Structure 1
């Protein structure tokens, strides 16, 4: 690799990163071509993506890269019950400066290589990445969320020829989109492996393309199953029995309608609501990004920022029943139906308390006037929100790095309506660390939607910003947290060196 970086002042970094973009684009296309959707019965592609990501990190200079089984299952037990085959490997890499390591801060870089599934009948090219030369965007499932984050980290390593001025820990997860919680459990069991002075969560993005942004707030998350039953079985003819006999789906619809008031505010009492005081999103741009119809009003009250970042929201995210498909209707009553409800909660809300309040509301008699049988349950899919501590040392260093990477643009502090429960856990594990949520996922990326894409210009700028960050931290030297602990836990299943 070409060594053109001026040590300590970052003067050579813009040219270096620009020169890396051809290789980074090719490697991103290669990674996007792998269908790394986490599915317990189809793990070959996920493991292939982990393998490729590990080789990219090792090739970029990490001295030790491992594929870890983080299920907590022993090798013998895994062999006997097949559990290991259902776990996506955690790619874990590290670099420790050979000289004066004790004076260098430790930076933890996180991203995930798994992706959400897509309807491949509507988007058959989802895993055939395509570059648009007119927009300089790369289209493909996971191009933005979050394989762009993986390539940010690889690009940063390459910018320093594999020898950054700080100690590094790189963590690439393979189950983030599944919500399994394996990594969270592993961090709680091995907190020493995730100690750092600065933590970069490259699973966020700028509030607009080309506008540098640090995400300072994330909502928490609660997922709940609501099963409504009205009949012993669903073979009753709707003409003979419809009217007096209640249909379970119609009963569920009435219950779901009670979750919001007429203005669209969540009606569950006792939930935390806060006022957002940061950067306010533009309603015009929000409507365009969300694709809200011209004649359709936005719901809820209060500022748009509060509705997006600090107030609860509720949606139905899944539905199971014996409902026949639209093109094959059957005139019968539905006996039972289950809805999966997803609730975003205020950053400082306790998800367990929020889940209990939602459950109590759904079990109220006035919410269920037809007296249907209601079974409510929630599982481990609970996530805490996050509020950044902007006063910790090194947070302003990150702002300076972003400002340098985007000359003429002032870095904004913005909220995010989504949830990344891992962030609050890493913050709790490193209470003095600066926790930075950033990345390439601006609104035009259409993450989780058809025709997801990433701006390669944004990938270049964010890779440069992260390189500036490491350069500035290396110049500052002495860490303020406890991230220099390099305790090792021998649980690797594969290793790259």
Structure 2
């Protein structure tokens, strides 16, 4: 079986892939909005139907402890065949500020050669990548190669409430595999396939400042009354040094990244940094993104400009996220973050710090036989050397599965690229990239069948 025959099969399947991705994107499957629970259930049912149509046996809707459903199915193979677990998720981020979208976020729309819609890249496109790869294998070989395939699609990855993790811990046999393919990461460029080898963990805290019993008139009391919003701004600024780098007392911030670098100009283009804006400091971007902690103020409760009154604020709050590199325990990082904020509290305000979620960092090896097979498959399909990079985001299920199956190889890849704008407006996937990633996965599964479990 050669790469070109699989590429031709995938190309012939792409109209079906687009049509089905449109159906899946149409579900507004935002898991942490109770009013959209029906949309999540419908998305799960759609995936279960697609698995059944593909020949998966014993397809199940798994009721997980956080109230969401995961979809599971398997394609058994002969005894002793290698077992591969394919992973994706169907829940998506909310499509906030819909007026800022150029298209309807829940209607797959083609523009400029890309497919736009919430979840098109993160991560419903990866669901279709897996299905297209399996269909291409069946089309070329008449049947699937001798690989035992398990397929799990979860419904709460974005909200991070651990539904699938807790279910897997209670039913460890269900997801046991020799190789785990996590399809939820990005490629460094459209023409450069990428295996992700590390993920930063994350912790969050909520910071509250209080100064007065109620708001007071800024004309009568401004200049003398302590301002809770001003105190919060000063407190948050303590998280960054004079160069703009994160500094949290008690956390190391000199680690370096040993993999592929991230050129400054490419980063500026990928992140869409405004031309007149300078990047913080002089540290290497790969170090900052993949090897060191990074604090982000992800939300502040304070009056909006529209409708604001002339008042000194009596209270304010902020949600702070801290990304944690491999080698740092997330719970320890959370305590360091909370202690830093409490110690930096200005005397002009009462400050409380509420500790919220904790998700551990993840790191995987890159020299096993499955890694080599995937690297060779990506190289053969793309015609270029694959990159091996870190990723700043976290995928909590990786840590759980690695703990349950310590001998398994983990391969992290996906259909995202720098222009995908996941978690933002106008999310999109490049269909050519989706097709090549599906081709590479199909070739990988064919090669995996040739090695013993």
Settle same-fold status: TM greater than 0.5.
yes
TM-score range (shorter-chain normalised) is over 0.9
- Residue 488 of structure 1 is matched in structure 2 by none
Do 2:83 and 2:179's aligned partners in 1 also have CA atoms closer than 8 Å?
yes
Residue 122 (structure 1) aligned to one of 82, 97, 100 = 100
- Residue 283 of structure 1 is matched in structure 2 by 264
Residue 155 (structure 1) aligned to one of 132, 140, 158 = 132
Distance 2:339 2:144 in 1: 55
Do 1:10 and 1:471's aligned partners in 2 also have CA atoms closer than 8 Å?
no
Residue 199 (structure 1) aligned to one of 180, 203, 208 = 180
Do 1:157 and 1:164's aligned partners in 2 also have CA atoms closer than 8 Å?
no
CA offset at residue 338 of structure 1?
A: 1.4
Residue 115 (structure 2) aligned to one of 135, 138, 153 = 138
Do 1:61 and 1:158's aligned partners in 2 also have CA atoms closer than 8 Å?
no
Asked if 1:43 is matched to 2:37, the reply is yes
Distance 2:284 2:317 in 1: 33
Residues 192-341 of structure 1 aligned to structure 2 (within 5 Å)? 192-234=173-215, 236-273=216-253, 274-320=255-301, 323-341=302-320
- Residue 90 of structure 2 is matched in structure 1 by 113
| Per-residue deviation, residues 392-436 of structure 1 (Å, max 9, x unmatched) | 3322111111112212x0111111111112212222222121111
Asked if 1:415 is matched to 2:397, the reply is no
| Per-residue deviation, residues 288-337 of structure 1 (Å, max 9, x unmatched) | 121212221111442111011111111111222xx332121211121111
- Residue 438 of structure 1 is matched in structure 2 by 413
Worse-matched range after superposition: 255-264 or 421-430: 421-430
Worse-matched range after superposition: 275-284 or 161-170: 161-170
Asked if 1:462 is matched to 2:437, the reply is yes
Asked if 1:348 is matched to 2:327, the reply is yes
What's the TM-score once normalised by structure 2's chain length?
0.95
Do 1:50 and 1:67's aligned partners in 2 also have CA atoms closer than 8 Å?
yes
- Residue 3 of structure 1 is matched in structure 2 by none
Gaps of 5+ in 2: none
Distance 1:103 1:329 in 2: 68
Q: Residues 120, 54 of structure 1: CA spacing in aligned structure 2 closer, same or farther, 3 A cutoff?
A: same
Give the aligned length. Answer: 445
Asked if 1:19 is matched to 2:12, the reply is yes
Do 2:160 and 2:396's aligned partners in 1 also have CA atoms closer than 8 Å?
no
1:226 is paired with a residue whose SS is strand
Asked if 1:405 is matched to 2:405, the reply is no
CA offset at residue 40 of structure 1?
A: 2.0
- Residue 88 of structure 1 is matched in structure 2 by 68
2:373 is paired with a residue whose SS is helix
CA offset at residue 30 of structure 1?
A: 1.3
Residue 352 (structure 2) aligned to one of 362, 369, 375 = 375
- Residue 428 of structure 1 is matched in structure 2 by 403
Do 1:106 and 1:166's aligned partners in 2 also have CA atoms closer than 8 Å?
yes
CA offset at residue 455 of structure 1?
A: 0.6
| Per-residue deviation, residues 462-495 of structure 1 (Å, max 9, x unmatched) | 001111111111011x21xxxxxxxxxxxxxxxx
CA offset at residue 371 of structure 1?
A: 4.2
Asked if 1:60 is matched to 2:54, the reply is yes
Do 1:219 and 1:309's aligned partners in 2 also have CA atoms closer than 8 Å?
yes
Do 1:301 and 1:307's aligned partners in 2 also have CA atoms closer than 8 Å?
no
Do 2:121 and 2:415's aligned partners in 1 also have CA atoms closer than 8 Å?
yes
Distance 1:255 1:11 in 2: 58
| Per-residue deviation, residues 227-260 of structure 1 (Å, max 9, x unmatched) | 11111222x1111112121111110000001111
Q: Residues 11, 285 of structure 1: CA spacing in aligned structure 2 closer, same or farther, 3 A cutoff?
A: closer
Distance 2:448 2:3 in 1: 11
- Residue 78 of structure 1 is matched in structure 2 by none
Do 2:122 and 2:416's aligned partners in 1 also have CA atoms closer than 8 Å?
yes
Do 2:68 and 2:155's aligned partners in 1 also have CA atoms closer than 8 Å?
yes
- How much is the aligned-residue C-alpha RMSD, in angstroms? 1.6
CA offset at residue 219 of structure 1?
A: 0.8
Distance 2:129 2:48 in 1: 14
1:325 is paired with a residue whose SS is coil
Asked if 1:388 is matched to 2:382, the reply is no
Asked if 1:30 is matched to 2:8, the reply is no
Do 2:270 and 2:419's aligned partners in 1 also have CA atoms closer than 8 Å?
yes
Worse-matched range after superposition: 388-397 or 259-268: 388-397
Gaps of 5+ in 1: 1-5, 73-86, 480-497
Do 1:32 and 1:141's aligned partners in 2 also have CA atoms closer than 8 Å?
yes
CA offset at residue 451 of structure 1?
A: 1.0
What's the TM-score once normalised by structure 1's chain length?
0.86
1:151 is paired with a residue whose SS is helix
